Amino acid sequence: MATKFQRIAQKLVRKTTLHGVTKREMGDAHRGIVRSVQTAIDYQNCVANFLSFRAAGSVPAEGPYLRAEMDDFLFLNSMIWQQKTLDQHRQALNKTFSVELPRYRAGIATRLRGRAYTEDEVERILAELSERHARSVRLIYATGMRAFEPLRLNDLDCLPVSPERPWRSDLFVGLTDFVICSCSGKGGLIRPIAVPTALYHEIGEHRFAKPTIVWDRRKPFTPIFDLTAGQALSTAFTRASVKALGFSLGIHGLRHSFVQRRLAQLEKLGFSYRDALEICAQEVGHFRTEITLQYTTLRN
């Protein structure tokens, strides 16, 4: 059951939330808007934490909300949080309350942990999944897609890639026997996806005969292919991973696996690390290589 703070936080975050629009459509206004469903949920949790902090001082949860209170909240928690948690709360407060809070250095060191699954581990997980879930997992492992993106996979002639982006001409070099599809990912970026030919024909047997609405995390999708994705797939994957391996790195770990495999392949082909990383970044839907770089941490 949602707490009082969570209910208030949800109302506050909703005021700056707008789904279904791209950065390009919004222009500079996108900087103050929350466009992702998951980001909105994360921000609601952050704001609820801030409201709980205020309540300790007997301050009314309904406001008014002072910038000084937010500053104290971040400063005090910077001593006990890791940097990622601290930054996320700062971003949530900035957007929700239209402020610009100072950056604080976290007092707890961030510990990076590799999340990439090995091929053998993936095979063992697949053995614990239904055929329908396994099909989506194989697709994500082969292409580096996000968990929700099978719902947005399309044929390239039906959904052309974003033309305004400076796409490299050597994407998918070194891969063989694949079909180029397209996928609308985060921020509305439509990128090319190299789906192995056999897998493409397999999922092609599961096309929807007519437009069908599929809901994931309270957001509607109209997919072309009848594939599991999003929260349902993520939950099934985690359970299968724990059953097969005794642990789970999350379905996002398959994306880490893809990046690490592609980097190794591209470096063997003679690409510099910088070029290889840029190719990987574009193939998984990033134009900032520093984001993709986070996927390269190896497991112990």
**Residue pLDDT, tens place only, 114-149:** 899 999 999 999 999 999 999 999 999 999 999 999
% of the chain with per-residue pLDDT over 70: 92
Q: Do 16 and 79 lie in a common domain? A: yes
Decide: pTM greater than 0.75: no
Residue 114 within a domain: no
Long-range interactions of 225-232: CB distance < 8 A, separation 24+: 225/150, 225/153, 227/132, 227/135, 227/136, 227/139, 227/150, 227/151, 227/153, 227/203, 228/132, 228/133, 228/135, 228/136, 228/150, 229/136, 229/147, 229/148, 229/149, 229/150, 229/151, 230/147, 230/148, 230/151
- Read off the pLDDT of each residue in 274-286 and give the average, rounded to a whole number: 93
- Read off the pLDDT of each residue in 221-250 and give the average, rounded to a whole number: 93
Q: Do 179 and 133 lie in a common domain? A: yes
Residue 108 within a domain: no
Residue 38 within a domain: yes
Q: Do 93 and 135 lie in a common domain? A: no
Q: Do 248 and 126 lie in a common domain? A: yes
Q: Do 41 and 129 lie in a common domain? A: no
Q: Please give the pLDDT value at position 1.
A: 39
Q: Do 186 and 289 lie in a common domain? A: yes
- Compare 186 and 97 and report the one with higher pLDDT: 97
What is the number of structural domains in the chain?
A: 2
Q: Do 185 and 245 lie in a common domain? A: yes
Alpha carbons 221 and 77: distance in angstroms, whole number: 38
**Over 80: is that where the pLDDT of 59 sits?**
no
- Read off the pLDDT of each residue in 25-47 and give the average, rounded to a whole number: 74
Q: Do 126 and 90 lie in a common domain? A: no
CATH for 192: 1.10.443.10
> Do 292 and 277 touch, CB atoms closer than 8 A?
yes
Nearest alpha-carbon partner for 43 in 20, 16, 21, 24: 16
Lowest mean pLDDT among 19-23, 44-48, 58-62, 147-151: 19-23
Q: Do 127 and 203 lie in a common domain? A: yes
Last residue of a domain, one of 30, 62, 97: 97
pLDDT band, very low/low/confident/very high, at 227 (cuts 50, 70, 90):
very high
Lowest mean pLDDT among 49-63, 84-98, 233-247: 49-63
Nearest alpha-carbon partner for 207 in 277, 162, 163, 158: 158
**Over 70: is that where the pLDDT of 112 sits?**
no
Residue 112 within a domain: no
Q: Do 210 and 287 lie in a common domain? A: yes
Q: Do 153 and 285 lie in a common domain? A: yes
Q: Do 93 and 205 lie in a common domain? A: no
Write out the residue range of the structural domain in which residue 26 sits.
4-97
**Which range scores top for mean pLDDT: 83-87, 135-139, 187-191?**
135-139
Residue 113 within a domain: no
